[in-house]
């Protein structure tokens, strides 16, 4: 049969990835071996998993492993595995295109960082194979998928094209052959030395549970018939040596593991070049036995808020067989930042996704994992505050989702939350806020907004500040939804200063305000009549000290910040009328009252009402419905002022 070579062009984004990986990350090129070994390990995992339901794919007693072969003269390196292999279509899908929705994010991040120090981006976005072109000027992949007769060869020089050719008599699995670049300097040549490969495998892939083997040559003494060495005589012997320990880190005792080993396994597991913030390693014994090794990352991954990745990223093993790479039943979605592995010997090997959901043992494991993660975070908060605050800056928004989903039992999540506030430098917990509350303060006061600058200048804070009351700034978008569930903490209700009435007056002050409101009743009604399309009531306020006006939302109504966010996301939000509160002690109100007493039908009354509403909207960061009219009214007022 005549061999048919298919020629293809890389996807435009693949070519861009190749160019950036080769030229931007050259200083970290040694990671190519980590990525190729990781791919081989994944292929072996997939074969073992598929063989559970299709035993014919794997011969009984067959040893699975990874082999590395070096040829310094030909300047080639081969990485072979006897795993699942690839079909022709899988070759095109996996090596000719990048289907990941995060590809553009990867490219943008790589360009932004320009970074020779950002190899972590490679593994995060599934483009690890292309790191081969950092060290090789030509790459070929020979592969045959388990269960298929036809094998295939993929070849490319990384120049924008690749070709695929059918091949016969290939064993099951994959062989990646690299023709190494003939670079000047010793570094590239070292990659083809036994020492370099041995060191890289030990550093990055020691915990791969399959043997990574390589043939090595050794000069050994020649032995006589009695097994004694001939003096001065040696012979070159070729031996196959295993380069990695193969024992999964989580299966070892904590006392035997160094912090460096925990860190390297994290790199192997996640492809994150940054060190983890914390590791959690424990073994559960008793009626349900399992081992867990979990990590809290120190940096936020690029795809943390990608909806397609909004699930647990902890892998599930049953008796050393990988059952599920991202088992969403092991941790809730609001803990999707946690990475790690769980191995159980009590679950069936043929456990299916559907049965995991209803398996009481899996639910028991999940409950324990959540508890251990939250306990670790509490310890960090108590003992390593700076480290915890750094972690909170990266993952606090995700933790708050747990409150919204109703999983804040015994305030175990809300007790970990950190907030900025009106009076305290730095971040505070709710417990620290409560500890600073004056004796007469009955509620935890909050205010929502898009940023600190907007909320700290809000008129809503004036009376609270005058009383020495602290206000928490809720400036994360998720805070709006979190507060729908978080109603109280440590017996203190959470009260938004933007909603409803706030009791900040003594009896005498309240009586004086109500008396004055009755005195100004006709003026307030006239202003409300002018603004009836926009506000439901105009009344005097107990919140204001220096500002003339502020807008207040009814209890249960949408905050202006949430309304802006919903509209910004394209949702149709019904118009809600809020309450315009006025400062009864402001000089402007006295002037308006005198104007009203002279001429109750003066058009100036309505114009001043519109300007007060506009000022209140601008102060809270909202947009004016008619900016041009507001500008004209202000201009007319200035003209009157300079002419009088």
* Rounded percentage of the chain residues whose pLDDT exceeds 90: 43
Q: Mean of the pLDDT values across residues 283-302?
A: 91
* pLDDT single digits (tens) 172-182: 999 999 999 88
Q: What are phi and psi of 469, to 5 degrees?
A: -95, 135
For residue 88, is it within any domain?
yes
Token pair for residue 132?
């081969």
> Does 303 lie in the same domain as 211?
no
Number of domains in the chain: 3
Which CATH number belongs to the domain containing residue 540 in this structure? 1.20.120.790
Residues 531, 609, single domain; the answer is yes
pLDDT on residue 389 = 97
Same domain, yes or no: 511 and 615? yes
C-alpha angle 271-272-275 in degrees, rounded to nearest 5: 135
- The mean pLDDT value of the chain amounts to 85
Q: Which domain holds residue 616?
A: 507-644
Single out the residue of 196, 207, 199, 325 nearest to residue 262, CA to CA.
Answer: 207
- Among candidate residues 210, 242, 274, the one where a domain is terminated: 242
Among 118-122, 316-320, 622-626, the minimum mean pLDDT is found in 118-122
pLDDT at 46 over 80: yes
For position 3, what pLDDT does the model report?
62
Angle at 470 between CA 466 and CA 472, to 5 degrees: 135
Q: Is the pLDDT of residue 221 over 90?
A: no
| CB-based burial, 305-327: b 16+ in 10 Å, e otherwise | eeeeeebbbbbbbbeeebbbeeb
Looking at residue 126, its pLDDT comes to 47
Q: Per-residue pLDDT for 186 more than 70?
A: no
Both structure tokens of 233: 């005589």
Q: Are residues 101 and 146 in the same domain?
A: yes
List pLDDT tens digits, range 104-159: 555 565 555 544 444 444 444 345 788 888 889 999 999 999 999 999 999 999 88
Q: Identify whether the C-beta of residue 79 lies closer than 8 Å to the C-beta of residue 36.
A: yes
Is 417 a member of any domain? no
Instruction: Of 427, 426, 424, 419, give the one whose Cα is nearest residue 448.
Output: 419
Q: Does 461 map to a domain?
A: no
* CA separation, residue 625 to residues 208, 336, 338, 534 (Å): 62, 41, 45, 10
Which pLDDT score, from 0 to 100, does residue 317 have? Answer: 85
Please give the Cα distance from 44 to 168 (Å, whole number).
22
Average pLDDT for residues 63-71, to the nearest whole number? 95
Domain end call among 226, 242, 258:
242
Please check the confidence at residue 435 and state whether its pLDDT lies above 90.
yes
Per-residue confidence (pLDDT) for residue 413, from 0 to 100: 96
The two tokens of residue 316 are 């599930």
The answer to whether position 449 is within a domain reads: no
At residue 127, the pLDDT reads: 55
Question: Are 62 and 194 in the same domain?
Answer: yes
Considering the domain boundaries, does residue 260 fall inside one? Answer: yes
Contacts of 261 (CB under 8 A, 6+ apart): 249
Please give the pLDDT value at position 450.
83
Question: How many residues make up the chain in this entry?
Answer: 644
| 205 pLDDT higher than 60 | yes
- Are residues 327 and 228 located together in one domain of the fold? no
pLDDT at 185 > cutoff 70 = no
Supply the pLDDT for residue 101. 38
Q: 203 with 273, same domain? A: no
Domain assignment present for 487: no
Nearest CA-CA partner of 464 in 432, 427, 493, 505 = 505
Lowest mean pLDDT among 30-34, 96-100, 524-528: 96-100
Is pLDDT above 50 for 49?
A: yes
Do 80 and 221 belong together in one domain?
yes
Q: What is the pLDDT of residue 269?
A: 84
Establish if 631 belongs to a structural domain. yes
Q: Are residues 238 and 256 in the same domain?
A: no
- CB burial of 524-553 (b: ≥16 within 10 Å; e: otherwise) equals bebbbebbeebbeebbbbbbbeebbbbbbb
Asked whether the beta carbons of 130 and 139 are under 8 A apart, the reply is no
Q: Measure Cα distances from 265 to 247, 294, 309, 342, 628 in Å.
A: 12, 11, 22, 14, 62
Give me the pLDDT at residue 370, please. 96
Same domain for 117 and 208, yes or no, is yes
If asked whether residues 135 and 199 sit together in one domain, one would say yes
Residue 411 has pLDDT above 50, yes or no: yes
> In the prediction, which pLDDT does 1 show?
43
What CATH code is carried by the domain that includes residue 295?
Answer: 3.30.230.80
Confidence of residue 227 (pLDDT cuts 50, 70, 90): confident
Look up residue 271 and give its two tokens: 């492809």
Please say if the pLDDT value at position 601 is more than 70. yes
* pLDDT at residue 310 tops 70: yes
Q: Is 168 a member of any domain?
A: yes
Both 256 and 334 in one domain: the answer is: yes
507-558 per-position pLDDT tens digit: 788 888 889 999 999 999 999 999 999 999 999 988 888 999 999 988 777 7
Does the pLDDT value for residue 102 go beyond 60? no
Last-in-domain residue among 378, 393, 408: 393
Interatomic CA distance for residues 468 and 72, integer angstroms: 76
């Amino acid at each position: 049969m005549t061999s048919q070579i298919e020629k293809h062009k890389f996807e435009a984004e693949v070519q861009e990835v190749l160019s950036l990986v080769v030229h931007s990350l050259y200083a970290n090129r040694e990671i190519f071996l980590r990525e190729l070994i990781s791919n081989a390990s994944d292929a072996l995992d997939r074969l073992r998993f598929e063989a559970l339901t299709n035993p014919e794919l794997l011969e009984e007693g067959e040893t699975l492993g990874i082999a590395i072969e070096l040829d310094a003269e030909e300047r080639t390196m081969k990485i072979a595995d006897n795993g699942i292999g690839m079909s022709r279509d899988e070759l095109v899908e996996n090596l000719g295109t990048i289907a990941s929705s995060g590809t553009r994010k990867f490219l943008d991040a790589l360009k932004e960082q320009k970074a020779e120090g950002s190899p972590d981006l490679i593994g995060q976005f599934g483009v690890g194979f292309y790191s081969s072109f950092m060290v090789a000027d030509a790459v070929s992949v020979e592969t045959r998928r388990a269960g298929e007769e036809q094998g295939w060869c993929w070849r490319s020089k990384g120049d924008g094209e690749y070709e695929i050719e059918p091949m016969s008599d290939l064993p099951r699995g994959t062989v990646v052959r690299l023709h190494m670049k003939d670079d000047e300097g010793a570094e590239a040549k070292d990659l083809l030395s036994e020492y370099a490969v041995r060191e890289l495998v030990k550093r990055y892939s020691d915990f791969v549970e399959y043997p990574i083997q390589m043939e090595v040559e050794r000069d050994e003494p020649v032995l006589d018939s009695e097994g004694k060495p001939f003096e001065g005589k040696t012979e070159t012997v070729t031996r196959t040596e295993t380069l990695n320990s193969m024992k999964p880190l989580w299966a070892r005792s904590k006392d035997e593991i160094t912090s460096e080993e925990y860190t390297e396994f994290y790199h192997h597991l996640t492809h994150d070049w940054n060190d983890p913030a914390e590791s959690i390693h424990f073994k559960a014994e008793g009626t349900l036995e399992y081992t867990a090794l979990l990590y809290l990352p120190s940096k936020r991954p690029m795809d943390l808020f990608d909806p397609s990745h909004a699930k647990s990223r902890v892998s599930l093993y049953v008796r050393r067989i990988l059952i599920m790479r991202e088992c969403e039943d092991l941790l809730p979605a609001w803990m999707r930042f946690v990475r790690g592995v769980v191995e159980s010997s009590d679950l069936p090997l043929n456990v299916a996704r559907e049965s995991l959901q209803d398996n009481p043992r899996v639910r028991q494991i999940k409950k324990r994992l959540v508890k251990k993660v939250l306990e670790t975070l509490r310890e960090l908060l108590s003992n390593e505050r700076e480290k915890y605050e750094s972690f909170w800056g990266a993952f606090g928004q995700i933790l708050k989702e747990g409150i919204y989903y109703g999983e804040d039992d015994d305030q175990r999540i809300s007790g970990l939350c950190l907030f900025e506030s009106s009076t305290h430098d730095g971040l505070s917990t709710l417990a620290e806020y409560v500890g600073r509350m004056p004796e007469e303060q009955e509620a935890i006061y909050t205010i929502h907004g898009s940023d600190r600058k907007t909320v700290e200048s809000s008129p809503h804070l004036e009376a609270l500040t005058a009383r020495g009351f602290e206000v928490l700034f809720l400036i994360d978008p998720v805070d709006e939804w979190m507060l729908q569930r978080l109603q109280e903490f440590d017996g203190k209700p959470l009260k938004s200063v933007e909603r409803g009435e706030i009791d900040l007056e003594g009896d005498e002050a309240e009586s004086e305000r109500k008396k004055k409101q009755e005195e100004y009743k006709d003026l307030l009604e006239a202003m409300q009549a002018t603004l009836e399309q926009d506000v439901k009531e105009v009344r005097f306020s107990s919140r204001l000290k220096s500002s003339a006006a502020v807008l207040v939302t009814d209890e249960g109504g949408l905050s202006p910040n949430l309304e802006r966010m919903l509209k910004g996301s394209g949702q149709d939000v019904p118009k809600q009328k809020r309450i315009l509160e006025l400062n009864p002690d402001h000089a402007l109100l006295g002037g308006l009252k005198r104007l009203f007493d002279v001429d109750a039908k003066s058009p100036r009354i309505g114009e001043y009402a519109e300007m007060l509403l506009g000022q209140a909207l601008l102060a809270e960061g909202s947009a004016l419905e008619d900016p041009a009219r507001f500008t004209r009214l202000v201009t007319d007022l200035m003209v009157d002022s300079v002419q009088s």
